[in-house]
Amino acid sequence: MLRSSLTRLRINRDASILLRLVQRSRLASSKTPPKPNAFDFHQKRTSETIVPPASSQWTLSSFVRPLPDLGRIPSNVAAYLFCACIAFHIFSEYGFVLEGAYGISMLPTIASDGDWLWISKYYRRGRDLKVGDVVSFRHPIRPGEYAVKRIIGMPGDFVLRDTPEKGHMMMQVPNGHCWLVGDNLTYSRDSRMFGMLPLALITGKVLGPVRWSGWTIPYLEKLEHGLQPAVLDDGDVE
Partner 1 sequence: MSTAPNVIRRALNGAYTLTTLTLFVSGTAIFLIDNVAETTRIIGESMTPAISPDYNTTGASDGLLFNKWAPSLRNLNRGDIVLFHSPNDPEKVAVKRVIATEGDSIILDARRRPTRQRDGAELPETRAWDSMMGRVVMVPEGHIWVEGDNWRNSGDSNRYGPISKSLVQGKAVAVVWPPKRFGTRPWEGFRSRTKVTPGEIPRDGEGAGLINAIRNG
3 state SS of 124? helix
- 142 near partner 1 (CB under 8 A): yes
List the one residue from 201, 206, 207, 223 that touches partner 1 (CB under 8 A).
201
Length reported for the chain = 238
CA dist list (Å): 46 to 18, 43, 66, 141: 38, 8, 20, 71
Q: Which CB sits closer to partner 1, 153 or 208? A: 153
- 200 near partner 1 (CB under 8 A): yes
- 125 near partner 1 (CB under 8 A): yes
- 184 near partner 1 (CB under 8 A): no
- 185 near partner 1 (CB under 8 A): no
Cα distance between residue 194 and residue 80, in whole Å: 44
Cα distance between residue 3 and residue 7, in whole Å: 6
Residue type, 26: R
- 175 near partner 1 (CB under 8 A): yes
- What are the helix (H) ranges across 95-194? 191-194
- 176 near partner 1 (CB under 8 A): yes
Distance in Å, CB of 231 to partner 1, minimum? 34
Distance in Å, CB of 11 to partner 1, minimum? 28
Q: Which CB sits closer to partner 1, 126 or 209? A: 126
Residue type, 172: Q
List the one residue from 36, 92, 131, 139 that touches partner 1 (CB under 8 A).
139
Catalytic residue among 136, 149, 188, 205: 149
Cα distance between residue 121 and residue 94, in whole Å: 5
Active site residue 105: yes
Helix (H) or strand (E) holding 89: helix 72-94
Closest CA to 203 of 129, 130, 141, 132: 129
List the one residue from 193, 230, 231, 237 that touches partner 1 (CB under 8 A).
193
Just list the catalytic residues.
Answer: 105, 149
Q: Given the rule CB under 8 A, which residues bind partner 1?
A: 83, 86-87, 89-90, 93, 125-126, 138-144, 174-177, 187-189, 193, 198-202
